[in-house]
Amino acid sequence: MIAVLQRVHSASVIADGEPAGRIDKGLFILLGVLEEDTEEDARLLAEKIAKLRIFSDENDKMNLSVVDIGGGALVVSNFTLAANYAKGNRPDYLRAAPPAVADPLYQRFSELLRERVGTVENGVFGAHMDITVAANGPVTIVMDSAVLRKGGRA
């Protein structure tokens, strides 16, 4: 499972022309579910993301988590994070989990994150989405649950 986290002042998503999710300060998360991912991957990422200290404290040091600041998370599914771009100029997405597997894991990740963070909004799985992000920093981090499974070794 691959997650791209962005620290934001606010973020919102419109899915197929309808408002779907919106947060103020917190994290915007693109989540890609890979074919080998399990609920354990969702749990590892949710735990790490909730505790990740990337928000500034009173001394302007990145020392606070999204929980510490009372922030929220907006999670949007994104199969293109599974892109294989090694050959040719058109990426393939063969590593992406099929929708019947990916959607339940995307939903489970959101549930697990909600248990830790509180406010978690979502995009709509499989929909065309227009996303607005007011980045803060910018602070952008890419996480791979495979790294967490190996105990932090890439």
What averages of pLDDT result for each successive group of 10 residues across the chain (154 residues)? 98 96 98 97 98 97 98 97 95 96 98 96 96 97 94 61
pLDDT tens string 79-91: 999 999 999 999 9
Domains of the chain, with CATH numbers?
Answer: 2-145 (3.50.80.10)
Q: What is the dihedral of CA 83, 86, 91, 96, to 10 degrees?
A: -30
For residue 40, what are the contacts with CB-CB under 8 A and spacing of at least 6?
Answer: 145, 149
pTM, full prediction: 0.95
| Alpha-carbon gap, residue 154 to 147, rounded angstroms | 5
Q: Do residues 76 and 123 lie in contact, with contact meaning Cβ atoms separated by under 8 Å? A: yes
